[in-house]
Structure 1
Amino acid sequence: MQYTVLRSVDYFLLAAILALAIVLRLIGLNAPLWYDEIVTIQSYVRGPWSDIMQGYSMNNHYLFTLQSKLSTSVFGDHIWAYRLPAVLFGTGTVLAIWWLARDVAGVAVAHVSALLIALSYHQVWFSQNARGYTELAFWSTLGMIFFLRGVNAPKRGTWVAYGLVLAAAVFTHLTGAFFFAAQGLVWLVLVIALALKGQLPRDLLLSPLIGATVGLLSLAAFYAPVIPDVLNTVGSVSETSAVDLMQEYQNPIWTVFEGVRTAIGTAGALPLLVALAVVAVSCIGTATLHGRAPLFAPMVLAHILLMLVLLLALGMRVWPRFFFTDIGFILILIVVGVSATTRFAGRLVGRPTLGRYLFIAASAAMVLISIALIQRNYSAPKQDMAGAYEMAESIRTAEQTYIP
């Protein structure tokens, strides 16, 4: 893996992208809360500090809850203050995606990928959501960076950082364990393959184990008070799922269509076409990155498949948000695929420089589409709780004043 040397203009573009990202996440930040946020705030954030770790709940994203409580302790009881950590980690994810893309594909792909994640409808939506999904994406992206760098140049410090990031991710949201488990499987396959060839470096075996030990010990310390509740909750999931009235939510095909539908805001055949196009371009990106970062795409695929298998095995709903951390990675593959396709088109007509202009044009098109889609974040509340309340009140008032 080769690291691109940065110029002054690259730092300027990165700063501009980050400034845009935080502005987009601050617009409408004080909009009304929706159901899941209300449950988290009422059940955990507004309670005493000592109660946050008294039991386990899938709606309590521990590390984020602590940060949200700290934010409201400093800034007061405001909706925007509850959501502020999500804004910061959402913006941090833009920077982390830029860093990762620069490592695996170069600075041009990094700029486009970071800009697209800054403009991502889903990323902005969750950056304005008082829950820990953007934080999970941030720690997971750092985990991908440290993993790839650690494999490329096995240094103990890199793997210790990886272990701490692992702990932070899983302490934010329990499904973070699936992401790092997928990386562990990829590492195990790599170690076995190198060992069979007699080419296994000692540091590639020991340093990751040290990092993993740091992460697991930290997690044991974090989760020790609630481990019985964690096991009980996970064990009871299949029972509640068996009587779930919305069985289609447990269907991976529904998850794919729902993820695409919410991104493009339409139904019918278009989501299928978009999904097929994303898969095709991502495959081109995967093939292109095989020489420079051969483990990147396999880790993304391993996480998606492992998450699906475990969710189906537990009988859980396969919510698109469980794959939220993969959005940035897939965007990198898409941008790399578009870059490779445009370069090929330029060479095909005997004008290699044309490929560069085609890439700029394609990137501009993706940016314009993202700008069109992101406006839906500001056009309506996440859930019209206030409207529902007003409607209920109007019905109640009408019943009280009705004279037969």
Structure 2
Amino acid sequence: MVEEDAAPSAAAARGGRRFRPAVPALFAAILAAAAGLRFYELGGRSLWVDEISTAEAAGLHSLGALLADVPANRMPLDRVLAWSLHFLGEGDAAVRVPNAICGTLLVAAVFLLTRRLFGSKAGLVAAVAVAVSPFAIWYAQDASPYSLLMLLMTLQAWAAHRAAQFARLGDWLLFALLTALALYTHYDAVLVTIALFAYVAFELVRFGRRPSNRWRPVLTRVLGAATAGMLAVLALAPWAPAIRGFLVYQSVAAEVAGPSGADLASRLFWRFDGLAIWPLAVLIVLGLPLAARRAPILFFWLLIPLAGLLLILHGPLLDTPARYLAIIWPALAVLTGAGAGAVAGFAEQRFEIATAPVAAVLAAAVVLVSVPGLLQWSSEPKDDWRGAAAAVQADGSAGLVLTMGAGSDWAAGSISHYLDQTDPGVPVFDAGGTSDNRAVTDNVAAAIGALPGAAWAVFASERGPSDLRAENRAATGVFTHPAGKPLGFSEIDLVGVTLLRGPDAKAVLDWASPFLPAVRATAALSEQKALAKVTLPPAAEKGPFHLDSTGPPADRTWTAPAAAATAMVARFQCKAGGDGDARVYVSAHDARGAFIGLYPDNGGYQCQGGAGAFAFATPPGTVKVKLWLRVTGRGSGDFSAVSLAVVP
């Protein structure tokens, strides 16, 4: 395979050769348009939780502090990039600049790969498809790893194809470098890496089966591929402890994963609608036969990652957010170019029409069919944490903020990010019972109840609380009864955020405690009510416990009877040592012993040292709960004062 089109026919010579000198100018125009779409209103929307996490990391004082702060389910490269460009400023637009740059470069990367596989005209059409894609633009304006991931995976595929075709040392080294960078961007890059090495192996087998090839060049290619793989793996060695922690994180989450539901056709439509590829579906399908002949790498890129996601997610692929399918999106864009090349080639052979005008018409059609998606994208909001902080700031009598319900820990971090910029004097407490919860410890709960001033209850929700209460349910949990708004309370509904203002903390806690068990625990402790302790085996009462891990998880567990729909609090002292990761979990089980719930729901309570607590409600069908102390990595964990209690 060569970088440019195959030798043109007479018809192609009439149109294609006149077209070729214009390729650089057309490509530059496409790239400029792509940059304009990605940088337009870059800071117009509020940051959402993942972006806020990136923004907080970018503001850390040192690279070491940044690397130590990377969550268990994230790789560090996108944060390192944001941190290195922190000199651009601290505003929402500045945080997104690296992603806008990567999103613009993705257009160039897709052009390079498509040109290599199918020629310049196909490359230009594919570049247009990426430039105006709502999916690509959205993640170019999102401070998350996906824009960088798509860029690096596209370049990784380009390098893999070059290495498989030419087998030069520089090609193998470039492939290894881009592989390592992609792996440091996102764990899902492992699936694409497996696919690309499988493609390289496929090409090696094809090369070795040619009768004209001697054993020496075959061996050279095998050694080159093996070297690229070893270098990529060795590059990950410094991050090995974090990778082990991620595998444990995944193993715990997998125990409560379930299969996807019914209505396959509907969910299939909406999942790929989220990728914004329906307007391009015809070209993608038309490109498949050409790809089968000239670019089998695309089938490896599409099929192996999809199979891997099905395996990892235990089936519910169609229920996952569209961003998790970003690992295959560039391959679909390349197939769009392949489809355009196939149509242009057919028009040339059947009707002797020059390929250049056909490609131009197809590129214009791609733009036209993308316009509705672009209009929808331009008005699509994000969770408005900036607006939530502004509402609290505008309340001169605000005393504190209490985040509640599902996701209360990241809701606390999100609103704190903006309040710290404008009004750092307003304290924020997580009253939702998740891993960063401080509200269900005795002294903090008592302090919350005594704080003067108005209190704001903040919920992360997809819809307004009025609609949710009308349906007797909420994104924050199932209500036991419709929750009315008490006299003296006011409500603000924003995109993804609901705020309820009460006269003081006690009034807000009393309002929420009937239907939110974690808030009930905080309310009980703030009034210094005695909790009913759950009977655990005697060993749980003695402590302290010291667990050592040299790689595999080290666990200590206790099981106790429990009733369904019961509010409970787990309390403990814990601290991690060495390179170990120490966590506390509670799992709920039915009569057969099967997992039916895991708390906290974001990977367990990560021990940082000192007292810890989290509250939860047992799900329907619960007959027992199990308390877990777990240490992973290479280190230790010390635990003491471990207890479970029922909230009255």
Given candidates 136, 152, 156, the residue that maps to 2:149 is 136
CA–CA distance in structure 2, aligned partners of residues 101 and 59 of structure 1: 32
CA–CA distance in structure 2, aligned partners of residues 58 and 14 of structure 1: 40
1:337 aligns with 2:348: no
Aligned in 2, Cα 1:347/1:155: closer, same or farther, shift over 3 Å? closer
Give the fraction of aligned pairs with identical amino acids, expressed as a percent. 22
1:312 aligns with 2:349: no
Given candidates 251, 259, 265, the residue that maps to 1:235 is 251
Aligned in 2, Cα 1:255/1:160: closer, same or farther, shift over 3 Å? farther
CA contact (8 A) 2:129 2:336 kept: no
CA–CA distance in structure 2, aligned partners of residues 54 and 314 of structure 1: 33
* AA at the equivalent of 2:382: K
CA–CA distance in structure 1, aligned partners of residues 178 and 210 of structure 2: 31
Say which structure, 1 or 2, has more relative contact order (CA 8 Å, 6+ apart): 1
Listed as ranges, the matches of 1:97-108 within 5 Å are 97-108=110-121
CA–CA distance in structure 2, aligned partners of residues 185 and 250 of structure 1: 33
CA–CA distance in structure 1, aligned partners of residues 500 and 367 of structure 2: 48
CA shift at 1:381, angstroms? 2.3
Listed as ranges, the matches of 1:1-400 within 5 Å are 1-4=1-4, 7-31=20-44, 32-42=46-56, 44-49=57-62, 50-54=64-68, 57=71, 60-72=74-86, 74-192=87-205, 194-195=207-208, 199=213, 201-221=218-238, 223-242=239-258, 248=260, 256-262=268-274, 274=278, 278=281, 281-291=283-293, 293-313=294-314, 318-344=320-346, 347-348=349-350, 351-353=351-353, 357-386=357-386, 390=391, 394-395=490-491, 400=503
* AA at the equivalent of 1:298: F
What TM-score do you get using the length of structure 1 for normalisation?
A: 0.83
CA shift at 1:239, angstroms? 2.7
CA shift at 1:250, angstroms? 11
Aligned in 2, Cα 1:235/1:312: closer, same or farther, shift over 3 Å? same
Give 5+ residue unaligned stretches, structure 1: 265-270
CA shift at 1:67, angstroms? 1.4
CA–CA distance in structure 2, aligned partners of residues 347 and 191 of structure 1: 33
CA shift at 1:262, angstroms? 3.0
CA contact (8 A) 2:274 2:322 kept: no
Larger Rg: 2
Greater Cα shift, 233-242 or 30-39: 233-242
User: Matched residue of 1:299: which SS?
Assistant: helix
CA shift at 1:288, angstroms? 1.5
User: Matched residue of 2:3: which SS?
Assistant: coil
CA contact (8 A) 1:55 1:226 kept: no
What TM-score do you get using the length of structure 2 for normalisation?
A: 0.53
CA shift at 1:172, angstroms? 0.9
Aligned in 2, Cα 1:55/1:188: closer, same or farther, shift over 3 Å? farther
CA contact (8 A) 2:124 2:337 kept: no
Give 5+ residue unaligned stretches, structure 2: 6-18, 393-455, 458-489, 492-498, 505-648
Aligned in 2, Cα 1:397/1:209: closer, same or farther, shift over 3 Å? closer
CA shift at 1:251, angstroms? 9.7
What do you get for the CA RMSD once the two structures are aligned?
Answer: 3.3
CA contact (8 A) 1:183 1:303 kept: no
